[in-house]
Amino acid sequence: MKTLRFLSVCLIAFSLVSANPMHAQEQNSSAKADQPGENKGGRAYSGMYTFLKEGEFVQVTVEDEGHVTGFISRYGNGDSDKGEFLNQFFKTGKLDGNKLNFTTEIVHGVSFDFKGNVERGEGKNPGDESYLVLRGILTENTSDASKKTTSHSRDVLFKLFPQEAIPSATMRK
Quick: pLDDT tens for 86-102. Answer: 999 999 999 999 999 99
Q: Given pLDDT bands bounded at 50, 70 and 90, which one contains residue 165? A: low
Q: Which of 72, 81, 83 is nearest to 156 (CA)?
A: 72
The Cα 42–Cα 24 span in angstroms is 16
pLDDT of 20 higher than 60: no
Q: pLDDT tens for residues 54-89?
A: 999 999 999 988 999 999 999 998 777 888 899 999
The percent of residues in the chain predicted with pLDDT above 90, rounded, is 55
Q: Which CATH class name applies to 2-165? A: mainly beta
pTM: 0.72
Domain extents in the chain: 2-165
pLDDT surpassing 70 at residue 124: yes
